[in-house]
Chain A
Amino acid sequence: MSEISPALITNVQPPKPPSALSNALVFGWRAVLKFRHVPEQLFDLVMTPLMFTLLFTFVFGGALAGSPSDYLQFFLPGILVQTVVFNSVYSGMGLSTDLSKGLFERFRSLPIWSLAPFAGLMVGDVLRHVIAGSIILGIGLILGYRPEAGGAGVLASFLLLIAIGFGTGWIFIVLGLLIRTPMTVMTIGFTFIFPLVFASNIMVQPETMPGWLQAFVVNNPVSHMTTALRGLMAGTATAGEVGLALAAPVLLTILLSPVVLWLYRRN
């Protein structure tokens, strides 16, 4: 069995300390590798929004908007928002899994930029959002969805989606740091996310809802995100709409990034 030659482990001195960016890129690379080794995670990411798209378009679409194709035109930007928000939950689960396995113990005992692992997590998230978003958009295009603003609109929409994912991601990183069981992170995450996603304007406009619910839906950040995304895809978005959509992600980043740092360094 294993015999290690002492020559191997002597005098291996560390090279010049790498930059914080270099550290972060290594963790990003790890996220890409994980995607390659566990492609089934795509299934988790895409199946739910795919089922929603098909169900709402073909079952409810005609009743809600007159015809399935009219409804798809309304619904698809919303389902992209839902996809990204749901995906953030998986990111928190991944972190919780890492923490429960002691991998972060090693990272924390290395002389590296302490936030690099989270930067890597974000890279993984962006990748997930782009891949899942592209698949859903692709299916939408096949079913007849047409973004009026064309390629530029799609590009702007994806940038907004990444910002949304980045912002909501902080919530689940906090949960991931606080809760050591991945399943609990998911349960709490979805308990929190469901009302926000369903009591929004993703599926239907709020006009037919009772007044108290309308008040919630109109002020729901998810509704602002959806409105802005519809606008970007259609080429009618105003700066105000995009600003409102970005408000929640920016606020979450400002509020939660110090919390994440504190939680990470605490123990």
Chain B
Amino acid sequence: MNETSPVTEFVPAERPVSLAISVRGLVKHFRDVKAVDGIDLDVPRGMIFAILGPNGAGKTTLIRMLATLIQPDAGSATVMGHDLGSSPQAVRASIALTGQFASLDEDLTGRENLVMLARLWGFRGKAARGRADELLGAFDLADAATKQVKSYSGGMRRRLDIAASLVVTPGVLFLDEPTTGLDPTARQGVWRMIRQLAQAGVTILLTTQYLEEADQLAARIAVIDHGKKIAEGTSRELKAAIGSGFLHVAPADQSRLDEAAAILEARLKNTVQRSAEGAQLSVVAGSAREANEALAALMSAGIELSDFSMGSPSLDEVFFALTGAPAEDQDRKEAAQ
């Protein structure tokens, strides 16, 4: 699949010190499921790097290995120059992890959660409380500092969870699906936070199921599926491979669907996908101009459209473009963990 995808591969000969994360041939199997099946990855320091893939693609497993929570079956990796296998404690000292599920003590207050972590890092009494208050202020949680976390909203939890990862400035911050389950406003807030952290020099490795999120935040994106990396590049490079967007059309007369599909395919030189209900056709358009010409061709053939739209590709469409198959949602591996 890599050969068919015109996305540039970034494969340095050795591991320069300037890399925050360097992964070679990492493998993790859960019984007979290959959750991560030989992944190479290089993340330069200070970069926001996104791992894009559907549920069960192996994103979480990869991050859990890099955060020393599970041991790889094969392969090697260094995080901030420390080897995962031989010096996990040094890796732990230079990373922070915000997992998919809030890793907070629900019974404790927000402040107590942060004080606890500050103490675990070695801050003593007053310094620990001071650091906790600083973070609460910075993350707009000062008002809720003395409330139990169980009373927090989803957005507040996520902010506290990220704050908890910043008690000590990490070299690498792992964010596993940082905005899953958040409303649009809270999502924007988390995005802003991530950008500011990157500006401050923190390397961020995040996973996401949303192309938009990767596009908005990340300087580089690796697309993974079935535990394998199927593409990597900048957002621009990926889009060049996938097409700038998808043209969706719905012919008014369903009997002319095949005819419409043939015209689109001829015009845009890409495979036409049919929606599950069959009423809508989707096809990659190289540019808005090409899309426009395709629509004009439909019109001149006398095919009336009940609806048409141009959209940025969804994850499904990215996968279709890269692999020729729709993204499979397979929760089993992540459920196994």
Contact of B89 among A3, A16, A111 (CB under 8 A): A111
Once A15-B123, A18-B120, A106-B97 are accepted as A-B contacts, the answer to whether A2 and B193 lie under 8 Å apart by CB is: yes
* Bound-state Cα–Cα, A38 to B148, Å: 10
Pairwise interchain contact B104-A9, C-beta atoms closer than 8 A? no
In chain B, residues 99-125, which have Cβ atoms closer than 8 Å to a Cβ of chain A? Answer: 99-109, 112, 116-117, 119-124
Pairwise interchain contact B108-A2, C-beta atoms closer than 8 A? no
* Bound-state Cα–Cα, A254 to B225, Å: 45
> Which B residues are CB-close (under 8 A) to A4?
138-139, 193, 196-197
> Which B residues are CB-close (under 8 A) to A105?
64, 69, 97, 99, 103
Pairwise interchain contact B97-A6, C-beta atoms closer than 8 A? no
Shortest CB–CB separation between residue A160 and chain B, in angstroms? Answer: 30
Contact of A30 among B97, B108, B166 (CB under 8 A): B108
Pairwise interchain contact B107-A34, C-beta atoms closer than 8 A? yes
In chain A, residues 226-263, which have Cβ atoms closer than 8 Å to a Cβ of chain B? Answer: none
Once A15-B127, A33-B112, A105-B99 are accepted as A-B contacts, the answer to whether A8 and B135 lie under 8 Å apart by CB is: yes
Q: Which of B11-19, B199-207, B255-263, B312-320 contacts A (4 or more CB under 8 A)?
A: B199-207
Once A15-B123, A112-B120 are accepted as A-B contacts, the answer to whether A101 and B106 lie under 8 Å apart by CB is: yes
In chain A, residues 45-101, which have Cβ atoms closer than 8 Å to a Cβ of chain B? Answer: 98, 101
> Which A residues are CB-close (under 8 A) to B234?
none
> Which A residues are CB-close (under 8 A) to B164?
106
Pairwise interchain contact B102-A102, C-beta atoms closer than 8 A? yes
Pairwise interchain contact B120-A6, C-beta atoms closer than 8 A? no
Pairwise interchain contact A2-B159, C-beta atoms closer than 8 A? yes
Pairwise interchain contact B119-A102, C-beta atoms closer than 8 A? no
* Bound-state Cα–Cα, A14 to B90, Å: 12
Contact of B99 among A29, A106, A267 (CB under 8 A): A106
Query: Is the C-beta of B189 less than 8 angstroms from some C-beta in chain A?
Result: yes
* Bound-state Cα–Cα, A3 to B96, Å: 20
Query: Is the C-beta of B68 less than 8 angstroms from some C-beta in chain A?
Result: yes
Interface centre among B122, B124, B127, B201 (most CB of A within 10 A): B122
> Which B residues are CB-close (under 8 A) to A106?
97, 99, 103, 117, 164
Contact of A103 among B105, B120, B168 (CB under 8 A): B105
Query: Is the C-beta of A142 less than 8 angstroms from some C-beta in chain B?
Result: no
Query: Is the C-beta of B309 less than 8 angstroms from some C-beta in chain A?
Result: no
> Which B residues are CB-close (under 8 A) to A11?
169
Pairwise interchain contact B120-A110, C-beta atoms closer than 8 A? yes
Once A6-B199, A109-B95 are accepted as A-B contacts, the answer to whether A18 and B105 lie under 8 Å apart by CB is: no
Pairwise interchain contact A2-B92, C-beta atoms closer than 8 A? no
* Bound-state Cα–Cα, A11 to B135, Å: 14
* Bound-state Cα–Cα, A1 to B117, Å: 24
* Bound-state Cα–Cα, A104 to B49, Å: 25
Contact of B185 among A1, A18, A107, A116 (CB under 8 A): A1
The interface size bin for chain B is: 35 or more
> Which B residues are CB-close (under 8 A) to A1?
140, 185, 188-189
Chain B residue, CB-CB nearest to A8: B138
Interface centre among A1, A23, A104 (most CB of B within 10 A): A1
> Which B residues are CB-close (under 8 A) to A9?
138, 166, 169, 196-197, 200, 202
Residue interface mask A1-44, B partner, CB < 8 A = 1: 11111101111111111100011001001100110011000000
Chain B residue, CB-CB nearest to A23: B120
Pairwise interchain contact B103-A267, C-beta atoms closer than 8 A? no
Residue interface mask B123-136, A partner, CB < 8 A = 1: 11001000100110
Shortest CB–CB separation between residue A93 and chain B, in angstroms? Answer: 13
Once A105-B97, A106-B99 are accepted as A-B contacts, the answer to whether A13 and B168 lie under 8 Å apart by CB is: yes
Chain B residue, CB-CB nearest to A19: B122
Shortest CB–CB separation between residue A267 and chain B, in angstroms? Answer: 6
* Bound-state Cα–Cα, A107 to B202, Å: 21
Chain B residue, CB-CB nearest to A12: B169
Pairwise interchain contact B92-A111, C-beta atoms closer than 8 A? yes
Shortest CB–CB separation between residue A102 and chain B, in angstroms? Answer: 4
Pairwise interchain contact A26-B122, C-beta atoms closer than 8 A? no
Once A8-B135, A26-B119, A109-B95 are accepted as A-B contacts, the answer to whether A2 and B200 lie under 8 Å apart by CB is: no
8 contacts between A and B (CB under 8 A): A3-B140, A12-B131, A15-B124, A15-B127, A33-B107, A37-B148, A110-B121, A111-B89
Given contacts A22-B122, A101-B101, 17 further A-B contacts (CB under 8 A): A1-B140, A1-B189, A4-B196, A6-B199, A6-B200, A8-B134, A8-B138, A14-B168, A18-B121, A33-B107, A34-B107, A37-B108, A101-B103, A102-B99, A109-B95, A112-B120, A116-B120
5 interchain residue pairs of minimum CB distance: A106-B103, A2-B140, A102-B101, A6-B200, A18-B122
Which residues of A are at the interface with B, using a C-beta cutoff of 8 A? 1-6, 8-18, 22-23, 26, 29-30, 33-34, 37-38, 98, 101-112, 116, 267
